[in-house]
Amino acid sequence: VQLQASGGGLVQAGGSLRLSCTASGGTFRNYRMAWFRQSPGKEREFVSGIERSGGNTWYTDSVKGRFTISRDNAKNILYLQMNSLKPEDTADYYCAAGARLILSAIRNGDLYDYWGQGTQVTVSS
């Protein structure tokens, strides 16, 4: 499956952005999906994950209450609504798809099968 992330940009602290990840070439609903981010000099970080049906979601503590992950299996699109953005949210954001990923490993980026190209988010103070 091919993943195309979009929606990044420059925003002031407190602002909002919505990232999208469009999937093609596979059966989107068969994949557990997630967003990761990486900023210069830092390791890749799990941001949020979502179950195949969209019924269960997971977040890293630093974004809980501010970010919302969702998916539209009819349109093959994964979303990340980001509100109340902070300068520390600045990073390249990547979407990822896992076909055989077990729930306990959803935060482990090494176990995902496919990755999007990344979209840059910059939050100014």
pLDDT at 100: 87
How many other β-carbons are positioned within 10 Å of the β-carbon of residue 42? 9
pLDDT of 49 > 90? The answer is yes
pLDDT at 20: 98
pLDDT at 56: 94
pLDDT of 59 > 90? The answer is yes
Average pLDDT for 34-41: 96
pLDDT at 69: 98
pLDDT of 26 > 90? The answer is no
Q: Is 24 helix (H, G, I), strand (E, B) or coil?
A: strand
